[in-house]
């Protein structure tokens, strides 16, 4: 998938906004779900996920309690470097993560910007020590526990 074009069109000279511009496309994105061994304070959870830079991070914590500990997080984005991602996964599993679900998830983004995620084609459960066996095959979710 190519990078979105954020330059303004000639008909609209307004500055680009900080929203996704890849509407009406389909493809695969790296999708990670990290369940922490114990709920972490927000800052500590974000610090634990820093090794996975360039990803969109969604912390799963109660909406009505912004300072509540974070039990898990979801990260999505392009797979830039498979080896660097495996290294980051190994670090998370050695430190803060209890379970990580990772794979190249299929999606369809409508012209309105709504993302529909496709079902996983296959799930593969691996021991925590087998991060090197994560192949980032499209539609396959690896569960490291």
What class, spelled out in words, does domain 25-144 have in CATH? Answer: alpha beta
Q: What dihedral do alpha carbons 35, 65, 105, 28 form, nearest 10°?
A: -130
**Poorest-pLDDT segment among 7-16, 45-54, 91-100, 124-133:** 7-16
Q: Half-sphere exposure of residue 39, counting CA atoms within 13 Å on the CB side?
A: 9
Cβ contact 124:107 at 8 Å: no
Q: What is the per-residue pLDDT across 8-44, written as a single tens digit (0 to 9) for each?
A: 444 433 333 334 456 678 899 999 999 999 999 999 9
pLDDT score of 22: 60
Distances (CA, A) of 138 to 30, 70, 89, 141, 143: 9, 29, 18, 9, 15
Which has more confidence, 110 or 138?
A: 138
Q: What is the per-residue pLDDT across 107-122, written as a single tens digit (0 to 9) for each?
A: 988 888 788 889 999 9
pTM higher than 0.85 for the full model?
no
Report residue 142 as tokens.
């690896």
- Any idea what the Cα angle at residue 46 is, between residues 133 and 56, rounded to 5°? 70
Report residue 15 as tokens.
């500055």
Domain ranges of the chain: 25-144
**How many other CB atoms sit within 10 Å of the CB of residue 71?**
18
């Amino acid at each position: 998938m190519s990078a979105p074009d954020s330059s303004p069109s000639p008909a609209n000279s307004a500055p680009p906004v900080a929203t996704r511009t890849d509407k009406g496309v389909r493809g695969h994105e790296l999708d990670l779900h990290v369940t922490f061994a114990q709920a972490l304070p927000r800052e500590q959870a974000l610090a634990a996920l820093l090794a996975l830079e360039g990803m969109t991070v969604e912390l799963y914590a109660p909406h009505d309690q912004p300072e509540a500990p974070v039990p898990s997080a979801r990260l999505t984005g392009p797979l830039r470097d498979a080896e660097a991602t495996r290294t980051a996964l190994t670090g998370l599993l050695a430190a803060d993560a209890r379970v990580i679900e990772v794979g190249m998830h299929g999606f369809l983004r409508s012209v309105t910007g709504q993302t529909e995620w496709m079902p996983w084609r296959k799930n593969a459960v691996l021991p925590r020590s087998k991060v090197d066996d994560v192949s980032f095959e499209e539609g396959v979710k690896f569960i490291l526990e």
